[in-house]
Amino acid sequence: MNIASVPAAHISTRLMDASQLRAALDGPGELALLDVREEGTFGEGHLFFAVNAPYSRLEISVGALVPRTGARIVLVDDGEGIADLSARRLAGLGYTDLAVLSGGVPAWKVAGHQLFKSVNSRSKAFAEVVEHAFHTPDIEAAELHRLLHSDADVVVLDSRTPEEFERFHVPGAVSCPGGDLALKFDTFVTSADQLVVVSCAGRTRGIIGAQSLIDAGVPNRVVALRGGTQGWRLAGLDLDAGGIDVFDFESTSAAGAGARARAEAVRVRFGVRAVDQAQVARWLTEEAATRTTYVFDLRDRQEREAAPLPGAIPAPGGQLVQALDRWVGVQRSRIVLVDDDGVRARMTAHWLIQLGEEVHVLDGPRDRLRFARPDGGAAPRIESVTPGAVAALLAQGGRALSLDASAAYRAGHAAGALWTIRPLLSGLPQEVLRAPILVLFAAEPAVADLAALDLGEMSPARIVAVEGGFAAWRDAGLPVEATPDTPPDAERIDYLFWAHDRHEGNAEAMRTYLGWEEQLPAQVVAEGGGGFRLVP
């Protein structure tokens, strides 16, 4: 998709009040509820079903989140007008069914509705509801520590991503991402007498991981580590960091057969539908104009490279359950899951179905499948200049703007560059907007292109981007400065402050975060329910 320059007068955006949006959320048909505020503001309070699509990179992300341009979209902001501007940009991409929540998030709150903190709130609330419904067993950190230092036979499986595991984990734990737990269980767990503990950083992935193994019918006693690594630290215990052992997961055919049998039993019990490539192809062609279909490849990078499935979207199964709104922007859409083993797709699907989604697993050959990978809108590429040429432009009265994350800017930026991001551009001082040249620093070139699209409507300046951004500037030995207090916290709408330092040892932040997770089921009930469909 290419961004068209659509005059504001030619865009007719419908306004929708809170009661109309509530009816749309409860009604039939597809709906994409996109919150276009930056992540920091979004995380301080958002609608339960909202998907964060920050305006700073809206056209980059929307193609994957909402691949069908005819899908119904409702845009949400704080009532300051960013949603209207977003509607204009989306119309330029060809989206045809656009509405804006009148008054934004404040109006939703005034209407008596709940606001949810943090990110991935729907998935985290779902995990807490699962624990309440199925009484998923857990173990306190102190008790696990005692068992690990006794003769007890215990296996700790860390269900987070490998990158998270390397940063910190419970001593002696094994990295086994949530989507792989059932697949690799018989490799890591060698006796039916072993206690299996599933850990994460907080509560929710540990709960889902432990319940996954219980649902799969493994013979062992399985529990979640209460509070995960945060609970471990609150108990006064130290975490480890470091690499991941590599195992030969194909070492025994019996283990693979056992995992496949358990996963197939789960598929039958939870009503997961298996489809062939002919059916998926029909959905992606004959029904493409009227129904949104996402195809996710749950395999790891090595598997995808060995047997490519062009266009399918890579997504780790455990993360898909934990953060569905990172990949799926359209409610009541259709999801197809692909793997090579028949285990990861089935286990992931059994959770997504209970989350309220329509989910299918692809079985059989896939040799004729080719998917059109949804791409974001491509803004017109702006002129780029080398770091060495910037000094001459600044000497001609140019002004430098940094579009990088506020945390990165504080740590280091080109000397004299002002920090801003796309939704804040209209607040730049007039002397900046009147400069003859605006020089943009951005780690991602497309972010500079999008900002230039807006700046071009505010300023007559010549707008250029620095090739390679700040990294190239720094590597060229050009002047760099750090500003630990600039931008001030009040302006950092891209940074989520709420409980942000819980992983850095702030005990109060850890307690706040864990308490927030525990209260989510009550908050979901107060909002009228989360659309979950738990299978007894």
Q: pLDDT tens, 451-498? A: 999 999 999 999 999 999 999 999 999 999 999 999 999 999 999 998
Q: What is the mean pLDDT of residues 81-99?
A: 96
> pLDDT confidence of 82, banded at 50, 70, 90?
very high
Say what percent of the chain tops pLDDT 90: 88
- Residue 250's pLDDT band (boundaries 50, 70, 90)? very low
252 or 421, higher pLDDT: 421
pLDDT digits (tens, 9 = 90+) for 451-464: 999 999 999 999 99
What's the pLDDT at 115?
Answer: 98
* 255-310 per-position pLDDT tens digit: 589 999 999 999 999 999 999 999 999 999 999 999 999 999 999 999 999 998 98
The 10s digit of each residue's pLDDT in 314-345 is 999 889 999 999 999 999 999 999 999 999 99
pLDDT digits (tens, 9 = 90+) for 209-241: 999 999 999 999 999 999 999 999 999 999 999
Calculate mean pLDDT across residues 122-151.
Answer: 97
pLDDT band per the 50, 70, 90 thresholds, residue 375: low
Residue 129 to residues 114, 117, 422, 474, 496, Cα–Cα distance (Å): 17, 17, 37, 48, 25
pLDDT at 251: 43
DSSP sequence for 71-83: SEEEEE-SSSSHH
- What local confidence, expressed as pLDDT, does residue 374 receive? 62
Going by C-alpha positions, the residue among 151, 122, 155, 149 that lies closest to residue 25 is 122
